[in-house]
Amino acid sequence: MTDSTVDPATIEAYRETEYRVSGEDGFVLRVGERSSPLMDVYQRCGAHCGAYLTACNPGSVMLAPKVNRQRQAALMKDLQQLGYPVMPGIGLHPSNGWPAEPSALVLGIPLEDARALGACHGQNAILWMGADAVPELVMLR
């Protein structure tokens, strides 16, 4: 892991979080675990990479649900303008009580674009998946 200014307990919570992708054939992404369902999505969409992004609770500071909805809508607008295929989801820690965060699996987005969007929307980290479909935590701070 690269050096980060983010509290180690927060980083550990990110690693433990379930990054759920919605839809008829929904699935869960976990840091460090290869995802066969993600590989299937890659094949269907012709993608070789992806990122899991949210605009909610920037810097891991909990905001009101209404504010988070507005922030997530702004991220979705950015993604629509960029033209990347998106699948909705939620990030949910299995046990710490942090509220579920609306999120998006963004297919085909280059790592640098994903990093830039995460930083633009105030995030500490993003989830990145290369061609191997193994999600990795990429710290932005």
- Tokens 């919570």 belong to residue: 13
User: Tokens 């988070």 correspond to what residue?
Assistant: 68
Indicate the residue type of 140. L
For 83, list phi and psi in degrees, rounded to 5: 85, 15
Q: How confident is the model at residue 2 (pLDDT cuts 50, 70, 90)?
A: low
pTM, 2 dp: 0.94
111-133 per-position pLDDT tens digit: 999 999 999 999 999 999 999 99
pLDDT at residue 23, as a whole number: 80
Q: Residues 56-96: pLDDT tens digits?
A: 999 999 999 999 999 999 999 999 999 999 999 999 999 98
